[in-house]
Amino acid sequence: MGAFIIRRVFYAIIMLFVVSFVSFVIISLPAGDFLDQKIAELEARGDRSASQRVDDYRERYGLDQPLLTQYWLWISNFVQGDFGLSFEYDRPVRELIGQRLTLSILLSLTTLTFTWAIAIPLGVYSAVNQYSLGDQIITTIAFIGIGIPGFLLALIVLYVAIVILNQDVVGLFSQQFKDAPWSLAKVWDLMKHLWVPALIGAVTGTAGTIRIMRGNLLDTFGQAFIESARARGLKQRTVVWRHAVRMAITPLIIILGTEAFPGILAGNILVEVVLGLPTIGPLYIQALTTQDMYMAGTVLVLIVFLLLVGNLVTDLVLAWIDPRVRLE
Amino acid sequence: MTKETRDPLVTVKNLHVDFDVRDGIVHAVDGASFNIYRGQTLGIIGESGCGKSITAKAIMNMIPKQGKVTGEITFYEKSEEGSGEIINEIRLDQTDPDGEVIRKIRGGHIAMIFQEPMSSMTPVYTAGFHIIEAVHLHRFMSAEKIGGQMGKNIQKKRPVTEAEAREIAIEMLRRVGIPNAEKRVDSYPHELSGGQRQRVMIAIALSTYPDLLIADEPTTALDVSIEAQILDLMRELQETQDMAIMFITHNLGVIAEIADEIVVMYMGKEVERSDTIAIFENPKHPYTKALLGSIPEIGEKKDKLETIEGMVPSPFNLPSGCVFHPRCPSFMPGKCDCVYPEYAEVADGHWARCLLYDGCWPETTEAQAVKNQAVAAD
Ligand SMILES: Nc1ncnc2c1ncn2[C@@H]1O[C@H](COP(=O)(O)OP(=O)(O)OP(=O)(O)O)[C@@H](O)[C@H]1O
Ligand code: SF4
Ligand SMILES: [Mg+2]
C-alpha cells in the first residue's frame, strides 16, 4: 500500500510536469504577449514608470528568452510556491487565487452535499419502485435536469430573483460585506448567497447522479447475493441499503474522485460567471481570454493536480470499501 | 417412520405460477402438489426451465412481482417447547412478501441455498458477517428459566450477543468443514474457492437450525469431487439437525443418493412422484424412464439431460394433449395428442400423469370417447 502510494505520487509528479509544459506552450503560442499590449496601452497613457516595471517583469520571468527558459523559470518558482504574476491585476497569482480558493472549495462542497443528499435517496427510490408513478416523475425531472445547461438555469434564476422578486442573488456577498473582514454576520451573509449557485449546480448534477444510482441499483438487484440476502429473512430496507446500495455506490465514488476534485476549480464555470461569483472559475476564463499566462497556467496546473489527487483518493477509498480491489 | 405417521412440514397443493410476458403467458409451474415431511428429503428433478426454482421460490414467497401464484402452500409451525405439537398453520402463499411473518420463516424455519455459490455472498462482506447477520435475525438464547408450569418449561429468550454470534459463526464454519475456521470467518467471498463458498452458504443456512433446507442445485456449479463432499456434508448435517431438505437438481445420480422421495417435473407439470426406490426400480412415466436411461456415469458431469431425444417445446406453443407427446417413445397417436392426462395414484403411493394408466384419463365424456374409440380400433 505504501509502495502503491509512492508510485502513484511519482507518476503524478511526472504528469504534472508534462501538463504544465503543454499548457504553458499553448498559452504562450498566440503572437505577441500580454506585456507588449500592456506597454502600448500604458505608454499611450504616458505612464513611464509602468513601462519600467514591465521591463522588470520581463527580465524576472525571462520573457525575452526562449520558451523553454521561460517555462523553466516559471516552473522552478512554481514548486517554491511562487506562481508568477498576474499581468492583468498586477498582483501575484498566488494571492489572487488564495483569496478565492476558500470560496471555490466551499461552493463545491455545498453543491456536492446537495447533490448527493438529493440524488442518492431519489435514485434508490426510483430503482426500488421501478416503473411506479414516482419513478416516472423522478426520471422525467432527471432528464430535464440533464438537458438544461447550468448557465441557462442561472440566467432564469437571476431573472426571477431580480426582476420578479427583487432579490439580490448576484455574487456571494452583499454589498456591505464584500470587502469587510470575516465576521459572523459575513458568514451568515455568505450562506444566504451560497445556496443559489449550490442549488443550481445540484440540480444539474443531481439528474445524472440519480440515473447512475438507479441503473446501478437495478443491475445489483438482479444479482444472486440479493436473492440470498432476502432468503435469509432480512427486511427489504436492509437488503436495499446494506447489500444493494453498498455495492452500487462504487461508480459514484469514482465520479466523486474524477469530477468533484477538479470540479472545485472548474466545476460550473459558466454558472459562476453568470452569477458573478468571486470564485476561481471566472478568474480562469478571464485569464484565458486576456492571455494572462501565469494566471491561466497556474489554474490549469492546479486543476490537473486536483484531478490526480482525486484519482489517488478514489483508488484508496475503493480499496477501503471493496475488499476485492487490490492496490498494485 | 411409516408413511402414515410422517409429520408434514410444508404442503403444496395445486400450485400454479404464471408469468405474463410479452410473447404470452408462461405457466412456469402448472399444478404441482406434494408434501415435505419433517426430517425427510424430497428430491425435485427435471430439465432446465421446468419450474423447479420457481416452485422453491413460491415456497419462500419470493416469486418476482410479475409472477401470479395460485394454489395453497402451508407451513406447519411446531411449538419449540414441550411436546412439539403443531401450533400454527401458515399459508405461505398468502403472507405479505415483505412482511414480518414470512421474514421470520425465511432463513429461520426455511432456509434456501442457491445455484450460484460464486455470487450468493455479498462481495464486500466476510463469511462471518453473513452468518452473524442470519444468527442475529433468527437465533435466540434461552436465558434463565423463570418457572415451570404444567410440565412445560417457561424460558425467557434473549438476543444473541455480538461475541456469541461470532462464536456460532466459527463453529458453523468448522462444522461445514472449512479448515482454519477462526481465520476463515474473516475471509471475503473472493478469497474462498467455489466449494468453500457453497460450504459457507450451507453454514449460513444451517446456523439458524431451520426445519427445512431448500437446496436449489447446490452442486451444479461445482466439480464432481467437491459435489460428493457437499452431498456428504448435507446428509451428515441433516442427521444431526433433524431437518428436512428439498433438493432440486437435474442430475438423477445425485438425487438417488440423497432423496427419500422424488418429484419429477416436466414443463411446469408434476409428472411423477414416488419414493426413491420405486422411481428407480419401477418408473411409471415415459419421461422418467427416459431420464433414467440418461443417468450420467459416475464421475461424469452433465449440465443438461441431453440424451433425451427432442427439444423442450416453447412455453408459448404447448403441444396439445400430453405436453410430452412430441418426445415420448410410448406416444399413442389419437390419444396422447388429444387428451391432457390427469395426475393419479397409479400404484401405492406412486403418482403419475400419463395416459398409459387408466387412472389418468379424465372423467369427461370427450376424453372417455377418445379412450373408447381408441380401444375399439385396437
Ligand atoms: N421473472 C420471470 N419472468 C418470466 N418468466 C420467468 C421468470 N422466472 C422464470 N421464468 C420462466 O419460468 C420457467 C421456469 O423457470 P425455473 O427457473 O423454475 O426453471 P428451473 O427448472 O429452475 O430451471 P434450471 O434448471 O435452469 O434452473 C422458465 O421457463 C422461465 O423462463
Ligand atoms: S400420455 Fe402419452 S405421450 Fe404423454 S407420457 Fe404418457 S404415453 Fe407419453
Ligand atoms: Mg433453477
Query: What CATH number is attached to the domain comprising B176?
Result: 3.40.50.300
Ligand 1: residues with CB < 6 A are B 19, 21, 26, 28, 46, 48-54, 64, 66, 250, 315
Say if residue A306's pLDDT is above 60. Answer: yes
**Strands (DSSP E) found in chain B:** 8-21, 24-37, 41-45, 67-78, 86-91, 110-113, 140-149, 152-159, 212-216, 244-249, 261-266, 269-275, 344-347, 350-352
User: Looking at beta carbons, which residues of chain A come within 8 Å of B112?
Assistant: 228, 231
Write the residue with the smallest CA distance to atom 10 of ligand 1. B28
Please list, in sequence order, all residues whose beta carbon lies within 8 angstroms of the beta carbon of residue B17, skipping any fewer than 6 positions away.
B27, B28, B29, B51, B54, B55, B58, B63, B67, B68, B69, B268
- The answer to the question of residue B283 being in a domain is no
Task: Say how far residue A74 (Cα) sits from the centre of its chain.
Answer: 24
Same structural domain, B205 and B308: no
pLDDT category at A291 given cuts 50, 70, 90 is: confident
Rounded CA gap, B216 and B31, in Å? 20
The pTM score is 0.85
Q: What is the set of domains in chain A, with CATH numbers?
A: 2-92 (no CATH), 98-321 (1.10.3720.10)
pLDDT category at A91 given cuts 50, 70, 90 is: confident
Q: What percent of chain B has pLDDT over 70?
A: 89
How many structural domains is chain B composed of?
2
Among candidate residues B236, B266, B296, the one where a domain is terminated: B266
Same structural domain, B175 and B294: no
Same structural domain, B125 and B33: yes
For the segment A66-83, the average pLDDT, to the nearest whole number, is: 86
Minimal C-alpha gap between B60 and chain A (Å): 7
Same structural domain, B117 and B250: yes
pLDDT category at B267 given cuts 50, 70, 90 is: very high
Nearest to A284 by CA among A272, B21, B64: A272
User: Looking at beta carbons, which residues of chain A come within 8 Å of B122?
Assistant: 225, 229, 243, 246-247
A223 in contact with chain B, both atoms CB, cutoff 8 A: yes
Say if residue A78's pLDDT is above 90. Answer: no
Rounded CA gap, B133 and B111, in Å? 14
Read off the pLDDT of residues A26-46 as tens digits, 9 standing for 90 and up: 777 665 566 677 677 777 777
| pLDDT of B359 | 92
Q: A262 C-alpha to center of ligand 3: Å?
A: 48
Helix (H, G, I), strand (E, B) or coil at B367: helix
- Helices and strands of chain A, counted as H and E runs: 16, 2
Of B116, B122, B138, the CB nearest to A233: B138
Minimal C-alpha gap between A246 and chain B (Å): 8
Instruction: Print the domain residue range for B320.
Output: 288-377
Q: What percent of chain B has pLDDT over 90?
A: 62
**Cell numbers 520558451: residue:** A67
Same structural domain, B316 and B222: no
ipTM, two decimals, is 0.87
Of B122, B130, B138, the CB nearest to A247: B122
pLDDT category at A296 given cuts 50, 70, 90 is: confident
Same structural domain, B297 and B256: no
Same structural domain, B7 and B46: yes
pLDDT category at B306 given cuts 50, 70, 90 is: very low
- The answer to the question of residue B353 being in a domain is yes
- The answer to the question of residue B118 being in a domain is yes
Minimal C-alpha gap between A306 and chain B (Å): 29
- Helices and strands of chain B, counted as H and E runs: 11, 14
Say if residue B304's pLDDT is above 50. Answer: no
For the segment B123-136, the average pLDDT, to the nearest whole number, is: 96
Same structural domain, B296 and B259: no
**Cell numbers 438507479: residue:** A214
Say if residue B1's pLDDT is above 50. Answer: no
- The answer to the question of residue B278 being in a domain is no
DSSP states of B150-167:
TTEEEEEEEEPPHHHHHH
Read off the pLDDT of residues B225-255 as tens digits, 9 standing for 90 and up: 888 888 888 888 898 888 999 999 988 888 9
The pLDDT mean for chain B works out to 88
Q: Is residue B327 within 8 Å of residue B308, measured between CB atoms?
A: yes
- The answer to the question of residue B281 being in a domain is no
Rounded CA gap, A242 and A260, in Å? 25
B46 dihedral zone (left: phi>0; alpha: psi -120 to 50; beta):
left
- The answer to the question of residue B273 being in a domain is no
Read off the pLDDT of residues B61-78 as tens digits, 9 standing for 90 and up: 999 988 999 999 999 998
Among candidate residues B216, B231, B266, the one where a domain is terminated: B266
B123 in contact with chain A, both atoms CB, cutoff 8 A: yes
Write the residue with the smallest CA distance to atom 20 of ligand 1. B49
Position B326: which residue type?
P
Same structural domain, B351 and B205: no
Identify which ligand lies nearest to the alpha carbon of B312. 1
Same structural domain, B102 and B242: yes
Q: φ, ψ for residue B266 (rounded to 5)?
A: -140, 120
Among candidate residues B231, B266, B301, the one where a domain is terminated: B266
| pLDDT of B170 | 97
User: Looking at beta carbons, which residues of chain B come within 8 Å of A247?
Assistant: 122-124
pLDDT category at B191 given cuts 50, 70, 90 is: very high
Same structural domain, B213 and B305: no
Same structural domain, B323 and B181: no
Helix (H, G, I), strand (E, B) or coil at B43: strand
Nearest to B114 by CA among A229, A235, A247: A229
Higher pLDDT, A157 or B147: A157
- The answer to the question of residue B272 being in a domain is no
- The answer to the question of residue B276 being in a domain is no
Read off the pLDDT of residues B162-188 as tens digits, 9 standing for 90 and up: 999 999 999 999 989 899 999 999 999
Is residue A196 classed exposed, middle or buried when 0-12, 13-18 and 19+ CB atoms within 10 A define those classes?
buried
